[in-house]
A and B are shown apart, each in its own frame.
Chain A
Amino acid sequence: MILTGTVKDEANKNLSGATLTISKDSVSSILAYAISKSDGSFKIRIDNAPEKLFIKASYIGLTTFKKILERKSQELEIQLRPSSEELKEVVVKSEIIQRRGDTLSFSVEAFKDKNDRVIADVLRKMPGITIKPGGQIYYQGKPIQKYYIEGLDLLEGRYSLANENLAADDVSKVEILENHQPIRVLDSLEFSERASLNIKLKNDVTLSGTAKLGLGATPLLWEANVTPMLFNKKRQFIASYQSNNTGKNVANQVRDFSFNPGGSTYDIAKTDWVSLLNPATPPFSQDRWLDNNVHLASANGIQRLKSDLDLKLNLSYLNDYQQQQGSTQTTLYTPQDTVSISEVLDNRLFIKNVQGKATLEQNTKKNYLKNQLEFNTYRNTERGMLQRTDAAIAQHLSTPFYGFKNNFDLYKTFGKQLVRFSSNTGFSESDQFLRVRPGQFEDFLNAGNPYAESLQNITSKKLYTDNSAGMTKMLGKFTTTLKLGVALQKESLTSDLVLDDSDTPLGNAFQNDTDFKTSEVYLKQSWRFKNTSETWNIRLGVPVAFKAFDLEGSNAQALDAFVFEPSVYIQHKLAAKWELSISGNLDYNFGGLERLYPGFILTNYRNLQRYNAPILEQVTQNYSTSLNYRNPIKRLFAKASYSYGKTKNNLLFGSQIDPNGTSILEAVVRDNYANSHRFNVEASKYLSRLNTSLKLNASYSISEREQLLNATLVKNENTNFNLNGSLESELSAWLSLTYSGSLMFYNSKLNNSELQQLNTQQHNAEVFFYPWENQYFSLGGEYFKNSLTEANRNYFLNLSYQYTFTKRKIDLKLSWNNMLNTENFINASSSEFYIIQTRYVLRPSQVLASVSFNF
């Protein structure tokens, strides 16, 4: 039998979604049903219908219609009236409230599998966490802010040391503190988009660590890493000793990932005034060319003095002995002549560095205080033996450096407003020398007579203090930050050039005794705007500053400048697949002491330099625009961008190049402009059927500027065209392939006359096999070529194999680098008016076996 009909409400409107059920009686189960359609109609078919039928029609908020029907097909007109009857409820407490605290915690056991050794291996698998190859940890695409162990921030940004060495077995939980604001006083004021991580250990007192030992040939190679650590709730300690002569960069594990927004522009950076000539380093992994012998020791401790007050000490010592061998062929183009220099280089570098940091941090709800005292010292010396066709030149230099700085930050609330005070002060000194034997620049320095030795002495000092107060405010959809500060800096430079064996003293022109003072009052204001639908994103900076420069010495001068450096960035989503961004900024740049010394300095054996000129003033305008297209369905992405830059300089720098290649640089007052244009197009496409992604990138840039070359004003124009392509393919679960290649065309013009052009190409391919779960192979090849010489071909082949003893948790790794025993890497580079072809002596073919385990 068939029942049809319509359901209407009180106002005779058709009701859709009413449920109609048929049963034997009011209590028995449903036999047939229908849901009314949008016109209120329904149709129920009932097979094997009983004598009497019970029909119910229900709709939320309306009374239920109930009727007993005879067994016959019929049409029903049902009208439902409003009802106050409530549906039966089952109330559950919302589970979200039952969650405690701000943390998500992951049980390490759940993510750990048999291959995992250290906590980094487990972290890598947790949802939302990625570890970047350099060791930096990201959560939900953003770098983490803090890496705590049991709530203590022992290593600050250098957390890789713990992450890569703490045994996973010792960790019970990893807590992710989302939107974590490490500074408690900011907690209620400033929103943090970034997360922090807290490692919870299984035991109250944990002793853990890793050890790794590797041996290889030839010559005898070693690699060692011992990293013991001790943790308890109030005191933590990590020490590490690492050593190798395999070219591995041990500095990675002590790399600092800490995030310092709005840091001071003043710092204690090491400036090297003198240098050896180096062959350009090859563009591939360091462990194939770096001839090193490095020892690194580091010790880190933290002690909780009382609640919210921590004292931290970090100390590290690095000792490295590096050898560089190679040769360079330099071609210099001058308006009159082409100068060619050939040099064979043999350099030995001795690097010693001691760094230390003491930090006192108080972090309470009322205020935040952090004082960090840091010192950094280097005792670097370098020796170089250089062969020219006509001469052998010995060089010896020393660039010791020491610097201290103290950074103080205090955050305090005034009513509802938070004000940040910050005070940074630093001092550094460096006493450097360069000895060149036999002496160069005979004509210029010694009336054309040969002499035995020249010695360049330099002492530079720097003292600065930068103090500021700032605050952040929200105004509607805008966020504005304001910072007012005063900075003072004093730099001094004394230098002299001494010729041994010579009777004539070098005059004032080869001495410096210069003081340079910079004072600055600045007000930095920036605005941000983002609308809720995120179609517009705008940033605007309007910093103003008053700067005063005072130079004392033989080039004494003063300069006052009022500087307004606006910047704007606008991003707009045009349509679902299109996005446009535009940016522009204006920058003022004033030369520092490195570009203000009036007496000549011998910076390397064939370069004398001085700036007997006014203070360099540069005004730069930059504009750029880019258009993005993303079609995720077709898996096609493309981007086109254009940027334009224009710089106005008040000084023109000129080189006087001698036929023997020695050059003398001087500055001349003359307004000049440099312009550059850059076009870039890139596209990528994923071919899902082949599991392959393809990427292409083409860029073209053209830049022009004026230059003085042997006292002639020349116009230099460079064009660069680059073409890159890459392919990545996963042929099957056990085999994958990658390829990347690039072509580069460089063209340089001097006064519209073509100089030699340079083309280079580079190809890399790598194959990976995963035959079994605990083993993998990789085989990679590389090829480099440049257009200068046909013989300049570089082929490389590398093989590596890893085997894991799953039960014992021991990794065995075997690698064979430079299988073809290619001795040299030959490369060419060019810039403005010269081309340098370099040959770098590589590490020989070598095999290294290493074993690593945790304790």
Chain B
Amino acid sequence: MKYSYLLISLLLSFNGIRAQQQAEVEYDYKAVYRLTFQQDSTDISSIAEETVLLYLNPNQSRYLSLGQQTKDSLFATLDRNTKSMAQFSRIRAMIPKTAFNYIIFKSTKKQQLLYAEKIVKDKFKYVENLPLQSWEIQTETKAYLGYTVQRATTTFAGRKYTAWFTAALPFSDGPYKFGGLPGLILEIYDAQKNYHFSLKGFEKLKEPVQPNIRLNTYKRVTKADFLQIKEHYEQDPLDAMESAGIKLDFSNSSLSRAQAKQDLRASHQKKNNAIELLNN
């Protein structure tokens, strides 16, 4: 009997704990880009390709990879009460793997950019002030997917970029942290073409979408702190995982812990070509 009282009092206490729904932003437009990138600057065969998405409304935007987007929306809409578990699992199995696990929110009103990423178990966010690039507009124009695009150049985080934007889409925005031009950036690439974003589609959404992310569960840190945490994770994922409470057992093994570390470090060295080379 004692236990059932305990149970009842526990159940009652849940009524007090309800997730607060924040006033959600809605995006009306979606731009789809293809991103080709080279993870190992010394190895041309490490070139990979992903689809990345930019959701837009007049004042705000959200940028993320398709893999991240699918993952987020699934976790947000996942209702374990319903019986659609199999559907869910099937969709989840289709999530494309992504090398980019972050989301970038830009706000024209606040002139700020918010970067959010989860590392192992911890969620972090940092803020940067816009604009991040100062552009030089050139007179050169070309046709791109039926839009007239104009050339602009800039230097950002250690790379020289060429961007093509169109005033026909009056969003002062672009993929990743790029933006600030009088029209949407449809194509942008660095001088080495290590990172090349090119628009594949632009459409008005029939139903506006919401960000599907609980930003308040992300811990605000400085960009420098974030980069340090991420560097540590990439350098020594074993230690990072262990400190996140994931237990690894190396006793009774042919592969020693030190060898495993060495393997991981070698694979990390092959990912030597981040989009931001310089961090200020």
Contacts and interface: CB of A to CB of B under 8 A. Distances in A.
B217 interface: yes
Interface of A: 16-21, 29-35, 37-38, 56, 58-61, 64, 86-92, 95-96, 99, 101-104, 124-125, 127-128, 131-134, 141, 177-181, 187-192, 249, 252, 285-286, 416, 474, 476-477, 479, 529-533, 535-536, 538, 540, 542, 566, 568, 570, 576, 628, 630, 632-633, 635, 637, 684, 686, 688, 691, 693, 728, 730, 733, 736, 738, 766, 768, 770, 776, 778
Given A19-B167, A533-B217, A576-B219, A92 B243 contact: no
Interface stretch (B155-163, B187-195, B253-261, B272-280): B253-261
Contacts of A134: 249, 252-253
Contacts of A538: 10
- From A19, A180, A770, residue with most partner B Cβ within 10 Å: A19
Nearest to B255: A133
B249 A133 contact: yes
A191 B258 CA distance: 37
A21 B167 contact: yes
Nearest to B139: A29
A540 B14 CA distance: 15
A133 B14 contact: no
B225 interface: yes
Contacts of B88: 179, 191
B100 interface: no
B83 A474 contact: yes
A548 B88 CA distance: 45
A38 B112 CA distance: 12
A635 B180 CA distance: 36
Interface string B234-264: 0110010111111011111111111111110
Contacts of B3: 542, 566, 568
B245 to A, nearest CB: 8
Contacts of A476: 81
Given A64-B170, A691-B235, 14 more contacts: A20-B182, A21-B182, A35-B108, A88-B168, A95-B51, A96-B95, A96-B96, A133-B250, A189-B83, A479-B80, A530-B80, A576-B219, A728-B257, A736-B258
B86 A88 contact: no
B252 A179 contact: no
B38 interface: no
Interface string B50-92: 0100001111000000100010000000001101011011101
Interface in B4-58: 6-7, 10, 14, 17, 19, 28-29, 32, 51, 56-58
B137 interface: yes
Contacts, number: 242
B116 interface: no
B92 A179 contact: yes
From A134, A286, A570, name the one whose CB has the most chain B CB atoms within 10 angstroms.
Answer: A134
13 contacts: A19-B171, A20-B182, A30-B137, A33-B181, A90-B145, A92-B200, A92-B203, A102-B89, A104-B97, A178-B93, A252-B252, A736-B261, A776-B259
B229 A540 contact: no
A132 B248 contact: yes
The majority secondary structure among interface residues of chain B is: mixed
Contact of A92 (B29, B111, B139, B201): B201
A17 B108 contact: yes
B17 A730 contact: no
Contacts of B29: 60, 87
B119 interface: yes
A90 B96 contact: no
Contacts of B228: 633, 688
A34 B168 contact: no
A536 B59 contact: no
Contacts of A133: 249-257, 260
Contacts of A566: 3
Contacts of B56: 60
Given A21-B167, A60-B170, A533-B214, A630 B256 contact: no
Interface in B109-149: 109-111, 119, 122, 124, 137, 139-141, 145-147
Nearest to A179: B89
Given A17-B58, A133-B255, A778-B256, A87 B169 contact: yes
Given A89-B204, A190-B85, A474-B83, A738 B14 contact: no
B221 interface: yes
B182 A34 contact: yes
B93 A59 contact: no
B244 to A, nearest CB: 7
Nearest to A734: B262
Chain B interface residue bracket vs A:
35 or more
A530 to B, nearest CB: 8
Contacts of A733: 265
A474 to B, nearest CB: 6
B183 interface: yes
B268 to A, nearest CB: 11
B86 A102 contact: no
B170 A730 contact: no
Given A124-B263, A252-B252, A19 B258 contact: no
A131 B228 CA distance: 27
Nearest to B235: A691
A30 B167 contact: yes
Contacts of A20: 182
A531 B10 CA distance: 14
Nearest to B7: A540
Contact of A103 (B6, B83, B93, B265): B93
Contacts of A192: 89
A531 B17 contact: yes
Nearest to B3: A566
B172 A35 contact: yes
A88 B96 CA distance: 28
A177 B172 contact: no
A31 B202 contact: no
Contact of B239 (A30, A89, A686, A736): A686
B199 interface: yes
B145 to A, nearest CB: 5
Given A30-B182, A60-B170, A730 B261 contact: yes
A134 B260 CA distance: 13
A738 B18 CA distance: 47
A844 to B, nearest CB: 22
A31 B137 CA distance: 7
Nearest to B90: A102
A531 B19 contact: yes
Q: Quick one: which of A58, A101, A691 has the most chain B CB within 10 A?
A: A58
B5 to A, nearest CB: 12
B85 A191 contact: yes
A603 to B, nearest CB: 29
A476 B15 CA distance: 14
Nearest to B144: A90
A776 B254 CA distance: 14
B57 A189 contact: no
B100 to A, nearest CB: 13
Contact of A88 (B57, B81, B146, B236): B146
Contact of A17 (B92, B109, B217): B109
A131 B201 CA distance: 40
Contacts of B96: 95-96, 99
A59 B170 CA distance: 6
Contacts of A191: 80, 85-86, 88-89
B252 A532 contact: no
B204 A86 contact: yes
Contacts of A635: 229, 232, 243
A733 B235 CA distance: 11
B96 to A, nearest CB: 7
A90 B217 contact: no
A104 B96 CA distance: 8
Contacts of B203: 89-92
B168 A87 contact: yes
Contacts of A736: 258, 261-262
Contacts of A768: 256, 258-259, 262
